[in-house]
Amino acid sequence: MNDETRKRRLRAELLEVRSGLTAEDVRESGLRIAVHATGLWELARARTVAAYVSIGREPGTRALLETLRERGTRVLLPVLLPDNDLDWAPYEGPDRLVRAGRGLLEPAAPALGPEAVVEADAVLLPGLAVDRRGLRLGRGGGSYDRVLARLEAAGRTPPLVVLLYDGEVLEEVPAEAHDRPVRAAVTPSGVHRFTRPE
């Protein structure tokens, strides 16, 4: 079985578990994640954080977005482009989010261009799992692979942090050559740090 097939199967399993979560589970998890994430030195030092608005059964990000904004951090949120690449726009508060395609919530503020992400001092990533090496399993759309490639091309190495549920920190996830490790995962129970590969 090749890595792409293994990734598809693991994604299906993880999404099945998430489908059993209630709205209250998602909200409570998001509140706990916000507490742990705001204590990260990577976010405390960041003037600009690239983040995202959670949807569906993803761990909730609303509390974290508000905490960052209220303490004066500039937060950039993605705007999905037709080719699945991401543009970025500033987060101006929960009342300035608009419903976009695929059920996404995006900032009402004018977009700044896909290159705006290179201004981020830290990047919060969605995901479905992470392993002991810090390798993240995403949904497979490739949007964040492009973001990470854009950062690399610009010579930027901001800390990458993935937000997950506790059961999504695994021993190993299938990986490919282009996959980039994250520095940490934040779950409702705490922060999981990963050593950088040599």
142 in a known ligand binding site: yes
Q: Is 167 annotated as a binding residue?
A: no
Q: Binding residue per annotation — 20?
A: no
**Is the four-CA dihedral 127, 116, 95, 82 of positive or negative sign?**
negative
Q: Does 9 appear as a known binding residue?
A: yes
**Residue 77 marked in a binding site:** no
CA atoms of 136 and 145, how far apart (whole Å): 11
Is 10 annotated as belonging to a binding site?
Answer: yes
Residue 58, annotated as binding a ligand: yes
Q: Binding site annotation covers 52? A: no
Q: Is 144 marked as a binding-site residue?
A: yes
Q: Are 101 and 133 within 8 A, CB to CB?
A: no
3-state secondary structure at position 169:
strand
| Residue 147 labeled ligand binder | no
Q: Which residues does residue 97 pair with via DSSP β-bridges, in sequence order?
A: 107
The reply to whether 151 sits in an annotated binding site is no
Q: Is 12 helix (H, G, I), strand (E, B) or coil?
A: helix
Whether 143 has a binding-site annotation, put simply, is yes
Is 97 among the annotated ligand-binding positions? no
CA distance 151 to 125: 13
The reply, when asked if residue 6 is annotated as ligand binding, is no
Give SS3 for 191.
Answer: strand
Is 136 annotated to bind ligand?
yes
Annotated binding site for ATP: 7-11, 136-144
Annotated binding site: 7-11, 53, 58, 136-144
Annotated binding site for substrate: 53, 58
